[in-house]
Structure 1
Amino acid sequence: MLSLRTIEKLYTDGACSGNPGPGGWGVVVYFQDGSVYEMGGGEAQTTNNRMEMQAAIQALKLLAATGQNQPVTIYTDSEYLKKGITQWIKGWKKKGWKTSEGKAVLNQDLWEHLDTLNSKQVDWQYVRGHAGDVGNERCDAIARAFANGRIPTLKQPALSEAFGSEATNGSGYEKLQSSDVSSDLLVTDLAMTESTTNSFTETNHNLSGEVRVTQLRNLIETLRIADDVASKGYLITSSELADLMDIHTSAVTSRGDNWVWRNWVVSRVRREGNQILWQLERVD
């Protein structure tokens, strides 16, 4: 048994620049002593749901690697992930990975992986995204960075600091290394191993043209949607506007009542319940 710090909770999140498109995932680990450990990664072509699931998979791999027996809470802003792993998966397996309509379950490969890693030790909780929760906001920032081809600065103290002294000696370190946890777990943003850095660079070099074209297509589609919203006079909520602009909801509401985004003036119209409604007006 490793002498490791006790994980109290894990936050997971996924992001995608276009859906499908370049994606990223992020995990923030909170220990009972108040310390924090972060990790993340990305894929050149994926979907938002797959990145949400990949984040949870990496979190569960880390938990398994520590050998911890104490209960842990995983927070996700994906109802698809939370309901899938806690409710829907039971029926899917009984039906041979078919939905109630007899169709093949999407992302079966990742659901099977999650099912293998999941246990009664894990308490799955839904947290509303972009609502000011520190853990969720940080996960979102990590995931978005990787989705946009950037490597964020991660809080990754040395293994001996994050997981206890035995994690870097003998069988403890080997257990972490051989646990099939993503390589992002064992490297820092500022001191990555040469092989990991080279692999990431080579992948980006080989795919950069394709990724840039995909991102450009996604941008054009976003601008078309914005034009449609403006020309037809649709009112959209702060969260919908944030999704359109690919920014946090707080960044929308903090800009005031009237401001310019690309080719549009964005104006606050009114509040309906707990939602602020916005209007776009073309200004070229």
Structure 2
Amino acid sequence: MLVERKIASLYTDGACSGNPGPGGWGVVVNFNDGSVYEMGGSAAQTTNNRMELQAAIAALKLLAASGQSEAVSLYTDSEYVKKGITQWISSWKTKGWKTSQGKPVQNQDLWETLDRLNSQQVQWCYVQGHSNDVCNDRCDAIARAFAGGQTPSLRQAASVDSVSSNSIHPTGNKTIQSSSVPLDAVMTDSLATPTAEFLDNPPREVRVAQLRNLMETLQMAEEVASKGYLITSSELADLMDVNASAVTSRGDNWVWRNWVVSRVRREGNQILWQLERVD
């Protein structure tokens, strides 16, 4: 009998070089059939806390797109994220997104997004960073790679035969049995390049999540254009999901999807850009 694949657990992590500085985030998705899906991304100028939040947001977007109703444990090594979403956020909203000291809550935009995606379905769990937890360490490696300007090879739903089902503990930690391959072999295997078959036909939940992310990106771009907002090179790069250098190297006027992107002016060290809809 074929068992329907479900998400068993989600692991998230963020990293930043400089704080603020170049950042990256990583997500490891474990399915009940032993398969794994990894995601990650980067931002040219950000903070560690924003990358931690971005990783959690990406994980919950994938969960929402999957249509799964079963409970899922989400593991983070950020007490800021865990306590923020489970303890502090109610008070922040009651006080109009102000802290107990009356100051504006930092990263309000990401907290609002995370709050919309959160539900009783998600069990928030704290895992100690750098404690030899396989999935947490892998998230950290993905996040640090993206923060360092690298594009790591990500495991794309390949079966993890070396980690048996009974080695997945209730805490979400994975241990390698003596009869299994060594830990470093598992970590090396997780860097394997996705097969052409998977790239051509990824799981439905992944395809839907990618489409939802694309629609969100296009809606943001449309709002930026329609309201005449000016955005910086790093913000535009985040919107397009490219490195900032890929924006500035294109010249002063070029087309991206449905918009003409034009360089408007420089303010300090920042270049400001404008989007105009192509009818």
Tell me, yes or no, if structure 1 residue 26 matches structure 2 residue 26. Answer: yes
Query: Secondary structure, in 3 states, of the residue corresponding to 1:111?
Result: helix
Q: How many Å apart are 1:156 and its aligned residue?
A: 1.5
Shift in CA distance, 43/119, structure 1 to aligned 2, threshold 3 Å: same
Q: How many Å apart are 1:75 and its aligned residue?
A: 0.3
Which residue is equivalent to 1:179?
Answer: 212
Q: How many Å apart are 1:179 and its aligned residue?
A: 1.9
Tell me, yes or no, if structure 1 residue 17 matches structure 2 residue 17. Answer: yes
Which residue is equivalent to 1:70?
Answer: 70
Question: d(CA) in 1 for partners of 2:214 and 2:13?
Answer: 17
Aligned partner (choices 191, 203, 226) of residue 244 of structure 2: 203
Unaligned 5+ runs, structure 1: 184-195, 209-284
Which residue is equivalent to 2:53?
Answer: 53
Aligned length: 185
1:58-102 deviation digits (Å, cap 9, x = unpaired): 000000010000000000000000000000000000001001111
Question: d(CA) in 2 for partners of 1:12 and 1:202?
Answer: 22
Which residue is equivalent to 1:123?
Answer: 123
Question: d(CA) in 2 for partners of 1:66 and 1:159?
Answer: 18
Shift in CA distance, 181/133, structure 1 to aligned 2, threshold 3 Å: farther
Q: Which amino acid aligns with 2:12?
A: T
Percent of aligned pairs with the same amino acid: 64
Question: d(CA) in 1 for partners of 2:55 and 2:144?
Answer: 12
Between Structure 1 and Structure 2, the one with more helix by share is 1
Query: Secondary structure, in 3 states, of the residue corresponding to 1:129?
Result: coil
In the alignment, is the contact (CA less than 8 A) between 2:56 and 2:114 conserved in 1? yes
Shift in CA distance, 19/176, structure 1 to aligned 2, threshold 3 Å: closer
Two-structure CA RMSD over aligned residues (Å): 2.7
Query: Secondary structure, in 3 states, of the residue corresponding to 2:213?
Result: coil
Shift in CA distance, 160/118, structure 1 to aligned 2, threshold 3 Å: farther
Question: d(CA) in 2 for partners of 1:126 and 1:173?
Answer: 25
Q: Superposed, which structure 2 residues align to 1:1-284 within 5 Å?
A: 5-157=5-157, 158=198, 163=203, 167=204, 175-180=208-213, 203-206=244-247
In the alignment, is the contact (CA less than 8 A) between 2:23 and 2:42 conserved in 1? yes
Question: d(CA) in 2 for partners of 1:65 and 1:33?
Answer: 19
Unaligned 5+ runs, structure 2: 158-197, 217-236, 250-279
Q: Which amino acid aligns with 1:133?
A: D
Q: Which amino acid aligns with 2:74?
A: I
Question: d(CA) in 2 for partners of 1:150 and 1:174?
Answer: 24
Q: Which amino acid aligns with 1:122?
A: V
Shift in CA distance, 97/201, structure 1 to aligned 2, threshold 3 Å: closer
Task: Compare CA radii of gyration and give the structure with the larger one.
Answer: 1
Question: d(CA) in 2 for partners of 1:182 and 1:51?
Answer: 21
Question: d(CA) in 2 for partners of 1:110 and 1:153?
Answer: 27
In the alignment, is the contact (CA less than 8 A) between 2:61 and 2:209 conserved in 1? no
1:114-143 deviation digits (Å, cap 9, x = unpaired): 000000000000000001000000000000
Which residue is equivalent to 2:181?
Answer: none
TM-score if structure 2 supplies the norm length? Answer: 0.61
In the alignment, is the contact (CA less than 8 A) between 1:21 and 1:47 conserved in 2? yes
In the alignment, is the contact (CA less than 8 A) between 1:44 and 1:207 conserved in 2? no
Question: d(CA) in 1 for partners of 2:80 and 2:111?
Answer: 11
Question: d(CA) in 1 for partners of 2:65 and 2:144?
Answer: 26
Q: How many Å apart are 1:5 and its aligned residue?
A: 1.8
